[in-house]
Structures are given as C-alpha cells and as structure tokens.
Amino acid sequence: MYKVNEIFETIQGEGSFTGVPAIFIRLQGCPVGCSWCDTKHTWAVNPDLQVKLDSVMAKSAETEQWAAITAEQLLALFQEKGYQARHVVITGGEPCMYDLNPLCNTLHAAGYQTQIETSGTFAVQVPAKSWVTVSPKVNMKGGYKVLQSALDRADEIKHPVAMDKHIEQLLQLLQQTDISNKLIYLQPISQQAKATALAISYCKKYNWRLSVQVHKYIGIA
C-alpha cells in the first residue's frame, strides 16, 4: 500500500522531461525538512487524516489528507480518469521512503514509463528502467545525509541553488560520483532573479543545464 496525497495529470516542468505530459503521484511522508519546500503538507503521516481515495481525488486545496492505495488501484484510477499521459512522476514527500518496485513494475507492464524525484537521502528501490532524478538536499533540518548510492543510481542530478555555497555542496557531492552518463541541472530556488543569474553563470562554467520550473512560470500545477 502506498500513502498518496495527490494524483493529477499535468505537464512536467523540471529537468530532462520538461514539457512532457505526465501523471504525478505525490506520496505522503518526508522527514528531510527543507526550509523552502513547497509541499510541506506532505511531510507528516497522520493516521487521523487517512481518507478514502475519492476524497483525495476531490481535493480543491493542499491538505495533509492521504489515502492508502495499491499499485493496481492506481493503474485502475488512471484508466477511470482517462489520463492520456504515459509518463508517470512519483514524487512527494520523499517517495524513496517506500519500496517503489511493485508500483513501477505494474506501471511498466501497462506501458507507462516512470520517473522518481527524490532527495537522495533514502535508498532508491526501483527497477533499472525507471528514470531517477536526485535533487540532493544537504544539511537540512531533518539531519539526513545524501547517500552515495542514490547519487550513483541517478540518471539526472537536479540541484536547488540560491547561493554560492549550494554550488560548493554540489561539487563536494560529485567528487566521488561518476557523472559521465548523468545530466546535471541547477534549479534556482523560488524563481529568485539572483538565484537564476547564479545558476546560469555556473551552468556556463561547468557545462551543466538549467531547470527553471516552467510550470510555476506559466501557472499550472
């Protein structure tokens, strides 16, 4: 059973799949504690706020309510809703608190591709064909360390930046990581102009890529 806070179809606005129609599965639960997190309603798993799937799908605002759902129920929901996207983004919260193999294998068997968005602070339990986006969270309130195993598994590393120290943190993380087959993105925190200028300068310096959270600029979920 997966604890799900939201399910919706939209356009992926970040990283390698920017512009791709996608179904987002937002899982409940995250102890990492990022100060700038824009989904803090997914942090706590309160048993008193467990609801039925219908209630989750009927949400009109962000809440801490969640539903326990199987992989098969999620697949049936996609078909019931008539979702056309074939790219599924599993995010959170921190999705790697869960073993995602059953969910991803079920989706792959039905013809979907999967992408995982994780902080890199939990072991990444996914099939080999899943695309893994690690957005490393360093020195956050929760005290979790970014795992080398998560960085090694990443297909892309998408690092949030606002100050030079964030670049220094990324460079330190990459020292022990083979990035020859990985894509490296810098993503300005909160669309700040200074953060964007900083990210652009370092993208040019290191031949990295820029991720600008397109969905926030155009005003979609």
Q: What percent of the chain has pLDDT over 70?
A: 99
Q: Residues forming the annotated binding site? A: 11-13, 26, 30, 34, 36-39, 91, 93, 135-137
Q: What is the mean pLDDT of the chain?
A: 94
Which residues have a Cβ under 8 Å from the Cβ of 63 and sit 6 or more positions away?
Answer: 41, 49
The answer to the question of residue 102 being in a domain is yes
φ/ψ of 40, rounded to 5, equals: -65, -20
pLDDT for the residue numbered 21: 97
As for how many domains the chain has, the answer is 1
Q: What are the phi and psi torsion angles at 92 (to 5°)? A: -165, -150
For the stretch 125-167, pLDDT in tens is 999 999 999 999 888 888 899 999 999 999 999 999 999 999 9
What is the domain-level CATH number for residue 47? 3.20.20.70
**What pLDDT is attached to residue 46?**
96
Is residue 168 assigned to a domain? no
79 occurs within a structural domain: yes
160-210 residue pLDDT tens = 999 999 999 999 999 999 999 999 999 998 777 899 999 999 999 999 999
Annotated binding site for S-adenosyl-L-methionine: 36-38, 93, 135-137
Q: Is the pLDDT reported for residue 215 higher than 80?
A: no
Per the annotation, binding residues for substrate are: 11-13, 26, 91
What is the pLDDT, as a whole number, of residue 143? 86
pTM: 0.94
Could you tell me the CA-to-CA distances from 150 to 89, 126, 145 in Å, in that order? Answer: 17, 11, 11
**What is the percent of the chain with per-residue pLDDT over 90, rounded to a whole number?**
86
- What is the spatial distance between Cα 101 and Cα 128, in angstroms, rounded to a whole number? 10
Within-domain flag for 198: no
- Which structural domain, as residue segments, surrounds residue 112? 2-158
